[in-house]
């Protein structure tokens, strides 16, 4: 059975699709493409059906990442099929934990930057929303996502190995 990871931000057009694209690339590079399912969603449905913000697409393309995305809203019923729900900031983290049907489901919710040792040591775990800013905010968002992705990949590998044992 595949291990499932879903990244969540507010509208699913900036941060979470960026994290989805970067992490999917890491999963594929690690040869885990068929073993780890990567997805994203938003806590709110404002942009359901829309593509990723053009600035997200531009920043991803410039860094060599693919992006084929349609925004959607996270549903509580998804917890049963997900192994990890990765929040992009503490507000999403709180909202997702409240939405979780069970305590076990709430335990699946983690902050992305908790997988970046430098950010975790500093206690700086939010990925700021770049939507209302300029292109620099999107580039900074990408740097934060990339910095946390290797640690998340290690955690997913460990969890998969623990399942197989």
- Within the chain, strands assigned E span 3-9, 36-42, 84-87, 109-111
Q: In what order do the strands lie in the sheet containing 3-9?
A: 36-42, 3-9, 84-87, 109-111
Catalytic residue check, 129: yes
Query: Which is the catalytic residue, given 6, 9, 14, 141?
Result: 9
**Percentages helix, strand, coil for the chain, rounded to the nearest 5?**
50, 15, 35
Query: Which is the catalytic residue, given 6, 15, 24, 53?
Result: 15
54 class by beta-carbon count within 10 Å (0-12 exposed, 13-18 middle, 19+ buried)? exposed
- Per-residue burial over 107-123, b = 16 or more CB atoms within 10 Å of its CB, e = otherwise: ebbbbbbbbbeebeeee
In the chain the first and final C-alpha atoms are separated, in Å, by 14
Query: Which is the catalytic residue, given 28, 129, 150, 160?
Result: 129
Return the SS3 of 31: coil
Catalytic residues: 9, 15, 129
């Amino acid at each position: 059975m595949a291990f499932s990871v879903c990244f969540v931000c507010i509208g699913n057009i900036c941060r979470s699709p960026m994290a989805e694209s970067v992490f999917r690339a890491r999963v594929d590079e690690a040869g885990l493409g068929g073993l780890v399912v990567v997805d994203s969603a938003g806590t709110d449905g404002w942009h359901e059906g829309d593509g990723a913000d053009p600035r997200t697409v531009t920043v991803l393309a410039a860094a060599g990442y693919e992006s084929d995305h349609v925004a959607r809203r996270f549903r509580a019923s998804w917890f049963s099929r997900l192994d990890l729900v990765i929040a992009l900031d503490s507000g999403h983290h709180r909202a997702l934990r409240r939405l979780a049907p069970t305590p076990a489901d709430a335990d699946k919710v983690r902050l992305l930057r908790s997988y970046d040792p430098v950010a975790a040591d500093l206690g700086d775990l939010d990925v700021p929303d770049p939507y209302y800013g300029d292109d620099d905010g999107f580039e900074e968002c990408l740097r934060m996502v990339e910095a946390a992705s290797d640690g998340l990949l290690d955690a997913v590998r460990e969890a998969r190995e623990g399942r197989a044992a």
